[in-house]
Amino acid sequence: MLLKVAILASGNGSNAQSIFDNMNCGKLDIEIVLVVSNRPNSRVLKRAQEANIPILELDHTLYASREEFDKAMIDALQKAQAELIVLAGYMRILSSYFLNQFKDKVINIHPAILPSFKGAHGLDDAYNSGVTLTGCTVHFVNEELDSGAIIIQAAIPILSDKPLEELEARIHKIEHKIYPQAIQWFAQKRLSIVNGKIHFIKTNTLNNKICIHNKDAYLIWPPLENSF
Ligand code: GRF
């Protein structure tokens, strides 16, 4: 049985694209039942259309309150029978009402190594802070911003003589590997949350190779499986 996944995004959608691509080449046990954007005409909706995935444009500015907007979103996700909600550059805070409907079924990708550099400017904040390593994190979403159980992280060096855009491009490249992997672990029912931390079920294949990439200089933990 394929896991029914919905993607919520607001902009470019390069992470959504990498999920479509990994699904289309058979690496993910999922079907994408809906892609929703709160911003009309966003690039992510065009990408989904090109991949023949159902889309919904839900302009948040047309709703009187966050709750009303979230109710419309919940309605659409339930109609689509979504079992996992993937936030991929979704630039809105989800209400408790929303999260209660999808408890432990919402995941997000953040462009920094959590719990450092939470919030909407994690990438820039890390770049400007003087740290020498930053990266990206896939985590479950709870009611506290960027604070849910961490599934997978990557560490990436900051090259101080290079512009922010160069770092952003390298982070994106790794995001496109770790997000599909995290989704596949969820689809395989290998993730459970115990005391706010991820407990991996069937860890036999998880610890057999350290994923350090010398040429592109990054480290991913836990290691990727199945050539993501
Ligand atoms: C990514 O960097 C992700 O970490 C953050 O938003 C960005 C979305 O990029 N949450 P894209 O729209 O997937 O290209």
Q: What is the pLDDT of residue 210?
A: 59
Q: Cα(125)–Cα(215) distance, rounded to whole angstroms?
A: 26
Q: What is the pLDDT of residue 160?
A: 87
Over residues 16-34, the pLDDT tens digits come to: 999 999 999 999 999 999 9
Over residues 123-174, the pLDDT tens digits come to: 999 999 999 999 999 999 999 999 999 999 999 999 989 999 999 999 999 9
pLDDT band, residue 225 (cuts 50/70/90): confident
pLDDT band, residue 208 (cuts 50/70/90): low
Task: State if residue 110 touches ligand 1 by the CB under 6 angstroms criterion.
Answer: yes
Q: What is the mean pLDDT of residues 96-125?
A: 97
Task: Indicate the pTM of the whole model.
Answer: 0.96
Q: Which atom of ligand 1 is nearest to the CA of 11?
A: 12
Q: Is 63:69 a contact under the CB 8 Å cutoff?
A: yes
pLDDT band, residue 1 (cuts 50/70/90): very high
Pairing of strands 197-200, 30-37: unpaired
Task: State if residue 135 touches ligand 1 by the CB under 6 angstroms criterion.
Answer: no
Q: What is the mean pLDDT of residues 215-220?
A: 84
Q: Cα(109)–Cα(226) distance, rounded to whole angstroms?
A: 20
- Is 213 in the active site? no
Across the chain, mean pLDDT equals 94
Task: State if residue 109 touches ligand 1 by the CB under 6 angstroms criterion.
Answer: yes
Q: Which of 60, 110, 139, 172 is catalytic?
A: 110
Query: In what side-by-side order are the strands of the sheet with 211-213?
Result: 55-57, 30-37, 3-9, 84-87, 106-110, 133-140, 150-157, 218-221, 211-213
Strand spans (E) along 141-208? 150-157, 191-194, 197-200
Considering only CA atoms, which residue is closest to atom 7 of ligand 1? 89
* Tokens of residue 72, six digits: 């419309």
pLDDT band, residue 217 (cuts 50/70/90): confident
Look at residue 204 and tell me whether its pLDDT is greater than 70: no
